[in-house]
């Protein structure tokens, strides 16, 4: 039985769908090659969303145009009857790119939904992702609060069945633009240190993957070393 191929989406930046023009083409060059990036540039496929909306970026090579000859010669094999066939490596590189971008987009959608859900349990996302999402949620929560307090407010939201008991929304203060990622990381680290101090007198321990006991005062250095800017 053939195994489904594994696609490592960690090679795709989290903000890939904000890349435009040169930044996007440079990424394509790094990931699959200069020739492929040149073909996308020629077709004005300037970002990941446009790429995913194209059925097949290689279809243009089927056209009879002198402007395409340089691309046909670099991406295809010229046959004895003067026709061209796309090289397997080129074809597979675009298939690979399509799979990676599709999976990355699905991951972003799932993460966003989980982070905004009423009982979100996702904790493995970057600080930058959290701040961007939290600020949007803060604005949305403020609008909800105004809608609840003012019947004449032009926007109203349906209540999720898990939130029916929450009749009164309170406005959430927007995250200050002056609050940096480093500031947030320090706040989390200090809070963790305070928690360690509070429970140290209780001799609370946790187990690592090897089922070895780790004291709470050992967790903070371990957390600091492994977190690398992630919650």
pLDDT of residue 208: 55
pLDDT tens per residue across span 177-196: 455 666 666 666 766 666 66
At 115, the pLDDT band (50, 70, 90 cuts) reads low
At 51, the pLDDT band (50, 70, 90 cuts) reads very high
- Match 């010229």 to its residue by tokens: 78
**Where do runs of H (alpha helix) occur along 32-87?**
34-42, 48-53, 69-75
Helix (H) or strand (E) holding 214: strand 213-215
pLDDT tens per residue across span 214-228: 565 565 565 555 555
pLDDT of residue 70: 96
List the chain domain ranges.
11-115, 118-178, 180-231
Choose among 40, 5, 2: nearest CA to 24.
40
pLDDT tens per residue across span 93-105: 999 999 999 999 8
On whether the pTM is more than 0.85, the answer is: no
């Amino acid at each position: 039985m053939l195994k489904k191929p594994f696609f490592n989406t960690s090679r795709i930046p989290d903000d890939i769908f904000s890349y435009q023009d040169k930044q996007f083409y440079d990424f394509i060059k790094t990931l699959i090659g200069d020739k492929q990036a040149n073909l996308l540039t020629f077709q004005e496929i300037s970002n990941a969303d446009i790429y995913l909306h194209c059925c097949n970026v290689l279809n243009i090579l089927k056209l009879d145009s002198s402007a395409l000859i340089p691309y046909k010669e670099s991406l295809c094999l010229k046959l004895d009857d003067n026709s061209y066939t796309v090289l397997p490596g080129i074809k597979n590189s675009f298939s690979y790119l399509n799979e990676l971008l599709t999976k990355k987009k699905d991951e972003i959608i799932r993460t966003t939904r989980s982070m905004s859900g009423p009982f979100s349990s996702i904790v493995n996302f970057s600080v930058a992702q959290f701040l961007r999402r939290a600020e949007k949620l803060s604005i949305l929560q403020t609008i909800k609060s105004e809608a609840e307090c003012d019947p004449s407010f032009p926007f109203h939201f349906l209540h999720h069945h898990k939130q029916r008991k929450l009749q009164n929304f309170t406005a959430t203060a927007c995250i200050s633009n002056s609050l940096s990622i480093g500031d947030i990381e320090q706040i989390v680290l200090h809070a963790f240190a305070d928690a360690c101090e509070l429970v140290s007198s209780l001799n609370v321990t946790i187990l690592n993957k090897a089922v070895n006991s780790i004291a709470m005062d050992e967790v903070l250095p371990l957390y600091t070393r492994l977190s690398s800017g992630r919650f």
